[in-house]
């Protein structure tokens, strides 16, 4: 199946940069993204894309990010005081940073997750090839991989009032590491060059200064874009209300940890 996907993509000339990805680097969510050509032509694959982008479909974020004292007691029992401290600091951040300028919100959110979370691969942390953790799951364990950092930053910034239209989860190839990677990108205006929030480096830099990253596609709760250099790219799909992402949504609503 993977060989077929790569063949279709190469023939389409849309995502030729995947030629340089080694097969063992293509995790489940990346393979789903690389099925873009198939996605546009089959119902089954289309539903899978909807799951991918639907993960970020807007619902009432505030109600899913509020942590009760009772829940903190349970987290303390399972993961210890350090997990509770991380979550309490996260809750404090979402209160104190709400009225800050957006650039400062970006800096504080990026710094918070980069400093408090250790990078650990899904296979080791979850015994799964690919798992997208909720912010609570990420903070309770204090560990996650690149998409977990990006998802947590995404939802936290939305909670702080940053428009969903300005932020996207972006799939890139990390050229120095020669592997697939996920970052969060922020567009101050629709036509602006985005800045990149990354767990690999502490600084938030313009995409034009991240020559080590090759963009492939980006998405948020309202759409999916093919990368165009390091700018906004070409929109290729709409994201409507979905049901296929119910499992992750339910974990957020239930405050699963």
Domain boundaries defined on the chain: 2-253
- Encode pLDDT of 135-172 as tens digits: 999 999 999 999 899 999 999 999 999 999 999 989 89
Q: What is the C-alpha separation between 212 and 91, in angstroms, rounded?
A: 33
Residue of higher predicted confidence among 231 and 71: 71
Rounded CA separation 195/209 (Å): 9
Nearest by Cα to 152 from 4, 77, 60, 252 = 252
Cβ atoms of 110 and 199 within 8 Å: the answer is no
pTM metric for this prediction = 0.73
Task: Using CB atoms within 10 Å of the CB of residue 151, give its burial: 0 to 12 exposed, 13 to 18 middle, 19+ buried.
Answer: buried
Tens-digit pLDDT profile for residues 60-101: 455 557 788 899 999 999 999 999 999 999 999 999 999 999
Q: What is the mean pLDDT of residues 34-57?
A: 46
Give the mean pLDDT of the chain: 76
Tokens at residue 192, please?
């602006």
Architecture, CATH, for domain 2-253: Roll (3.10)
């Amino acid at each position: 199946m993977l060989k077929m996907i790569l063949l279709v993509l190469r023939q389409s000339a849309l995502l030729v940069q995947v030629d340089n990805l080694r097969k063992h680097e293509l995790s489940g969510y990346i393979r789903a993204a690389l099925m873009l050509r198939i996605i546009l032509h089959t119902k089954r694959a289309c539903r899978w894309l909807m799951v991918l982008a639907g993960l970020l479909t807007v619902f009432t974020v505030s109600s899913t990010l509020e942590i009760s004292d009772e829940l903190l007691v349970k987290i303390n029992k399972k993961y210890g005081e350090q997990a509770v401290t991380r979550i309490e600091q996260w809750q404090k951040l979402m209160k104190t940073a709400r009225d800050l300028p957006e650039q400062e919100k970006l800096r504080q959110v990026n710094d918070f997750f980069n400093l408090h979370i250790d990078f650990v691969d899904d296979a080791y942390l979850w015994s799964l090839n690919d798992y997208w953790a909720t912010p609570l799951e990420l903070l309770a364990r204090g560990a996650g991989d690149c998409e977990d950092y990006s998802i947590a930053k995404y939802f936290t910034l939305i909670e702080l009032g940053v428009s969903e239209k300005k932020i996207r989860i972006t799939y890139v190839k990390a050229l120095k590491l020669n592997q697939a990677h996920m970052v969060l990108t922020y567009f101050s205006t629709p036509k602006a060059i985005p800045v990149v929030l990354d767990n690999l480096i502490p600084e938030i830099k313009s995409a034009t200064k991240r020559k080590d990253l090759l963009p492939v596609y980006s998405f948020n709760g309202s759409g999916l874009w093919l990368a165009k250099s390091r700018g906004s790219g070409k929109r290729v799909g709409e994201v409507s209300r979905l049901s296929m992402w119910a499992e992750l949504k339910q974990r957020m609503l239930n405050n699963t940890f």
